[in-house]
Amino acid sequence: MFYYEYNKTQLISFEKQNLPKSSESIALKAKNIFFLGRLNNIGKNQFIIQSPKDLFKKEDSLNDLKSNKNLYDEIPNWLYSKIENKLVTFININYNNFLDLINISNIKSWKINVVALGDVGRTLTIGLRLLGNKSISEIGIFDFDKSKIERLIYEGNQVFSNFDDKTYPEIREINSENIFDCDMFVFCASKTIPPVDVIDQDVRMVQFEQNSKIIEIYAKSAREKSFNGIFAVVSDPVDLLCKVALTTSNTNKNGHYDNLGLRPEQIHGYGLGVMNARANFYAQRKFQLSNYSSEGRAFGPHGKGLIIANSISNYDENLSLKLTDLTQNANIEIRKIGFKPYIAPALSSGALSIINTINNNWHYSTVYFDGVYIGTKNRILENGLDWETYDFPINLFKRLESTHNYLGGIV
């Protein structure tokens, strides 16, 4: 093991590096450690090490969601302890600018910019104003329809109460030039929204082609601006649009993938939060499963390929499949009564999940595994991306592999 110091931070590696040397005695006293490793495929560039096996990994894999308790003789006890306490961050040195990733993010008050103020964007913005008093400094809004901006500037900023100690974040207009002057960019644009009477197809996939063209524009802009914040995707289908954003931002004018755009872990798709909420709704009302909220989990996309597990510790395949079907088609039930199902997604997947993200709390959003963005429970800590790992039942992990293959076959 080699020990280094950079930017007042302790680094360790199995390879010699051209960096100032440190020692084990200094490293073991440091709160946070950065491990310099290599991922051979185009994977995440920075993430919190889940188990000692991550020190030896060579590629990004869906198997990273599995728990691993193997012991390794090469690892000192103090490093085991730091890994267990989420204090060791993997840095992929195959990434050209890997030294830029060696830092501790400590944003106390986030600036969030929301693009497109349709039903979802408008509702999400109001949710952020109501919930963001302790963690959001301001909310920038942009839309090509000026009247939508003016409405939210007036009505949104009139959501206020002086009977509590809250300081509500100001909603401000932004222009196209400063869209990426923020800590989090939230993409809510949608070109095609099927009418409420469309109930016989996956409406999210209807939106994919047109929404891909829109997100490509913003992904290229993020590259040009060297955006280093979170690129949040709320528009459908979130998982697939995340991959489009990644590919587009890292493709140069000659059509070559150069890895100089958004990093995989910068992009998060917010669609699974509402699926978890819907699953909890049906679990309690249809099956009297009050334990879903604590034991149940959601995986995969906001649409076809969704996986709902009634319980991780007491998994029931048949019950989980029934719950998955109800959850996946919940939006159709709203369409049947004549409404577009946007309130729950805008708040459960959008505002609530974003608030949990910036507060370093657990939430549902996409994480990049082996070329595919797939929804799972995760959080963003000051020293990197962290996700839950599980002792998967074999049949549940097979469902996850099937979903991963499905999503990977589309983009």
**Does residue 36 share a domain with residue 83?**
yes
Backbone angles phi, psi at 325, to 5 degrees: -65, -45
Q: What pLDDT is recorded for position 403?
A: 98
Compute the distance between CA of residue 355 and CA of residue 378 in angstroms, rounded to an integer.
Answer: 13
Question: Residue 254 is part of which domain span?
Answer: 110-269
Q: What pLDDT band is residue 319 in, cutting at 50, 70 and 90? A: very high
Shared domain check, 337 and 378: yes
CA–CA separation, 364 and 378 (whole Å): 6
| Cα angle value 297/364/120 (rounded, 5°) | 125
In this structure, the answer to whether residues 180 and 253 fall within a common structural domain is: yes
Same-domain status, 158 and 188: yes
**Same-domain check for residues 212 and 231:** yes
- Assess whether 260 and 287 both reside in one domain: no
| CATH number of the domain to which 291 belongs | 3.90.110.10
Tell me whether strands 33-37 and 2-6 are parallel, antiparallel or unpaired. unpaired
Q: What is the pLDDT of residues 94-131, one digit of tens each?
A: 998 999 999 998 899 999 999 999 999 999 999 999 99
Domain boundary among 269, 301, 319: 269
Instruction: Write the pLDDT tens digit of every residue in 25-80.
Output: 999 999 999 999 999 877 899 999 999 999 999 999 999 999 998 888 889 999 99
What band does 374 get if pLDDT is binned at 50, 70 and 90?
very high
Q: How far is CA 198 from the centre of its chain?
A: 29
* Least confidently predicted of 160-174, 263-277, 313-327: 160-174
Question: Is residue 246 located within the same domain as residue 135?
Answer: yes
Higher pLDDT residue, 204 or 409? 409
Same domain, 83 and 122: no
Give the range among 156-165, 318-327, 376-385 with minimum mean pLDDT.
156-165
- Compute the mean pLDDT over every residue in the chain, rounded to the nearest whole number: 94
Domain identity same for 116 and 201:
yes
- Output the pTM of the full model: 0.95
Same domain, 214 and 164: yes
Among candidate residues 220, 238, 269, the one where a domain is terminated: 269
298 and 261 belong to one structural domain: no
How many domains in the chain? Answer: 3
pLDDT in tens, 346-370: 999 999 999 999 999 999 999 999 9
pLDDT of residue 41: 73
pLDDT of residue 192: 62
Across 305-326, average pLDDT: 97
pLDDT of residue 332: 87
Over 60: is that where the pLDDT of 195 sits?
no
Give the pLDDT confidence score for residue 95 in this predicted structure: 92
Q: Are residues 224 and 239 in the same domain?
A: yes
C-alpha to C-alpha distance for 376 and 272, rounded to whole angstroms:
8
**Last residue of some domain: 239, 269, 299?**
269
Residue 134: CATH number of its domain? 3.40.50.720
Alpha carbon distance 184, 103 (integer Å): 18
